[in-house]
């Protein structure tokens, strides 16, 4: 399955910052190796998981190669979204040692994080595959990795929620405390956004759900509802609005939540509680 990548400038910027952080004024250890030495290498995974981050690794090697006025050749055996078995070779590469050594950690850090995100997303998505519910991510992403992690969520079988505060409205408890009524703020939100844009109301009780429906909300988030209350909310709502379950959802609870009949389930765990996939680069010097 093909997954739409973030813009090239997004990938380039992340890689540039990672390399700046790691290399700084120069890789003083790589200088100990002969300048003209050549490496044949590979990236392997030491555990089963969903692979994500090919474009970022390519960009790492492109940028470090450019610094050294050389090109690093990469032959990928997988693509983003593929499930790789433990011990699998993900790619082979060859090139001058210095830039490869300098880019090793940045390439692995990015790919391990994105593959970890995609892998846990797949576990959650598979757990609710027998229901109509779709898995959503949140804005609870690692700093400056939002677009990359949301891409990884797509690779793992999830669906993106809004990207940030600029492309959709979610009316939460703190907004409702501003003094405006629920009904007024919902109406203002709907009229302020283009048709088809995300406008969502978060509710904490059945009574708030009822008020939201009467106000015309078409997407309503059920925050920390019990399973019993979720079932009641689904029955009450019918086809008036889409319902999203949120709050404290994990791999142990998500299937039961999906079986209540909600349309969406959002979980911050898939992007903030990330266990990096165990990847390694192995080198052979010619």
Dihedral (CA of 126, 131, 137, 140) sign: negative
- Say how many C-beta atoms besides its own lie within 10 A of residue 162's C-beta: 18
- Tell me whether residue 202 is one of the annotated catalytic residues: yes
Per the residue annotation, which of 80, 104, 202, 244 is the catalytic one? 202
Bridge-based pairing of strands 49-50 and 83-84 is: antiparallel
In whole angstroms, give the CA distance from residue 179 to residue 140.
Answer: 27
Residues in the chain: 286
In whole angstroms, give the CA distance from residue 231 to residue 110.
Answer: 40
Per the residue annotation, which of 12, 13, 172, 272 is the catalytic one? 172
The dihedral region occupied by 54, where left means phi > 0, alpha psi between -120 and 50, and beta the remainder, is alpha
Per the residue annotation, which of 22, 40, 204, 223 is the catalytic one? 223
Collapsing DSSP to helix, strand or coil, 41 comes out as strand
Collapsing DSSP to helix, strand or coil, 201 comes out as strand
- Tell me whether residue 150 is one of the annotated catalytic residues: no
What is the DSSP-derived secondary structure letter of residue 36? Answer: T
Per the residue annotation, which of 71, 77, 139, 140 is the catalytic one? 140
- Tell me whether residue 140 is one of the annotated catalytic residues: yes
End-to-end CA gap in the chain: 37
- Say how many C-beta atoms besides its own lie within 10 A of residue 37's C-beta: 13
Known catalytic residues?
105, 140, 172, 202, 223
């Amino acid at each position: 399955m093909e997954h739409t990548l973030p813009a090239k400038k997004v990938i380039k910027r992340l890689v540039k910052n990672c390399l700046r952080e790691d290399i700084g004024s120069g890789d003083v250890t790589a200088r100990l190796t002969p300048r003209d030495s050549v490496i044949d290498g590979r990236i392997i995974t030491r555990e089963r998981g969903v692979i994500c981050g090919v474009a970022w690794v390519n960009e790492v090697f492109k940028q470090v190669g450019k610094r050294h006025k050389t090109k690093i050749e990469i032959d990928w055996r997988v693509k983003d979204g593929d499930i790789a078995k433990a011990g699998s070779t993900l790619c082979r590469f060859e090139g001058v040692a210095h830039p490869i050594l300098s880019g090793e950690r940045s390439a692995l850090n990015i790919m391990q994080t994105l593959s970890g995100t995609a892998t846990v997303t797949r576990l959650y998505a598979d757990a609710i595959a027998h229901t109509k519910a779709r898995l959503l991510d949140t804005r609870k992403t690692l700093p400056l990795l939002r677009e990359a992690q949301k891409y990884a969520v797509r690779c793992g079988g999830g669906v993106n929620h809004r990207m940030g505060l600029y492309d959709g409205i979610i009316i939460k408890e703190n907004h409702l405390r501003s003094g405006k009524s629920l009904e007024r703020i919902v109406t203002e939100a709907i009229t302020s956004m283009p048709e088809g844009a995300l406008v969502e109301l978060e509710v904490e009780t059945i009574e708030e759900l009822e008020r939201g429906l009467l106000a015309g909300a078409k997407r309503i988030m059920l925050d920390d509802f019990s399973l019993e209350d979720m079932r009641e909310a689904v029955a009450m709502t019918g086809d008036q609005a889409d319902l999203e379950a949120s709050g404290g959802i994990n791999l142990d609870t998500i299937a039961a939540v999906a079986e209540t009949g909600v349309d969406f389930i959002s979980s911050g765990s898939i992007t903030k509680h990330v266990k990096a996939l165990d990847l390694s680069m192995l080198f052979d010097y010619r």
